């Protein structure tokens, strides 16, 4: 898999002291879903490479293969001009605070490489890690339940960045044009022929109103020609005598 050169300023994802290989793999999967491939690890608890990361990555092996390991957070972001620390606001640390969307807007427009720091699963980033960042990145979240796992945090940031990129959209099903009026009239007439002998339009005084209601019902969906033919086939099957 090659890097898409049309992607604008992809940020570096830095996992600081990640604890589980499985979570590293899930973070890599989240990254590749949205076009990010530069993963850096700072002191992974169980070492690197980690056999639990591959299965959890679900095919994002290229991200794991390219992952770099650093001894300190400072080393991991040494070549980055802009560093964002994902955390709640730390006491005693006065820095600008942005949402993932605001960070993404900055990253795609500012010169120089950007890095986003994510802390250990249990404790998050330490104050010394946050001190390396120029900006705090915080996700607006339910104050009664602010529990995001590592991969969820990564995917939120990766997704917001991807919204400013020309990533491929899911293939849309080509819609058929609406059926011509003549086809629709044939369908309405078919219903009429099938229902009239069975007393559907009775009493006679209500027949005109019932026919208008039926016509309104059948014209409202905007059937295409295939759908009209399908319904006609259903009606034809209902007209036939059941097989013995």
pLDDT digits (tens, 9 = 90+) for 131-151: 999 999 998 888 788 778 999
The C-alpha angle 80, 101, 113, rounded to 5 degrees, equals 15
Domain architecture of the chain: domains with CATH: 12-162 (3.40.1280.10), 181-239 (1.10.8)
Cα 32 from chain centroid (whole Å)? 12
Q: Which residues contact 12 (CB under 8 A, 6 or more apart)?
A: 38, 39, 40, 76, 77, 80, 113, 114, 115, 116
Cα 241 from chain centroid (whole Å)? 50
- pLDDT value, residue 175: 76
d(CA 48, CA 66): 12
pLDDT tens-place values along the chain, 244 residues long: 444 445 678 999 999 999 999 999 999 999 999 999 999 999 999 999 999 999 999 999 999 999 999 999 999 999 999 999 998 755 556 789 999 999 999 999 999 999 999 999 888 899 899 999 999 999 888 878 877 899 999 999 999 999 988 776 665 667 788 889 999 999 999 999 989 888 888 888 888 998 999 999 888 888 899 999 999 999 999 888 776 4
pTM of the complete model: 0.69
């Amino acid at each position: 898999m090659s890097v898409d050169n049309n992607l604008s300023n992809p940020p570096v994802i830095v996992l600081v002291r990640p604890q589980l290989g499985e979570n590293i793999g899930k973070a890599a999967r989240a990254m590749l879903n949205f076009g990010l491939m530069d993963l850096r690890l700072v002191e992974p608890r169980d070492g690197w490479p980690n056999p639990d990361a591959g299965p959890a990555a679900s095919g994002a092996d290229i991200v794991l293969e390219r992952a770099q390991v650093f001894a300190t957070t400072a080393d991991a972001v040494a070549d980055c001009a802009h560093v964002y620390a994902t955390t709640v606001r730390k006491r005693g640390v006065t820095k600008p605070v942005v949402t993932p969307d605001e960070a993404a807007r900055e990253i795609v427009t500012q010169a120089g490489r950007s890095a986003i720091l994510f802390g250990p699963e249990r404790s998050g980033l330490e104050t010394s890690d946050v001190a390396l960042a120029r900006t705090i990145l915080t996700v607006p979240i339910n104050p009664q339940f602010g529990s995001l796992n590592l991969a969820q945090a990564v995917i939120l940031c990766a997704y917001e960045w991807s919204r400013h990129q020309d990533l491929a959209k899911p293939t849309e099903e080509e819609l058929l044009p609406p059926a011509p009026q003549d086809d629709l009239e044939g369908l309405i007439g078919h219903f009429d022929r099938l229902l009239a002998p069975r007393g559907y339009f009775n009493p006679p005084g209500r027949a005109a109103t019932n026919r208008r209601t039926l016509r309104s019902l059948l014209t409202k969906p905007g059937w295409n020609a295939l759908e009209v033919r399908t319904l006609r086939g259903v009606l034809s099957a209902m007209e036939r005598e059941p097989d013995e």
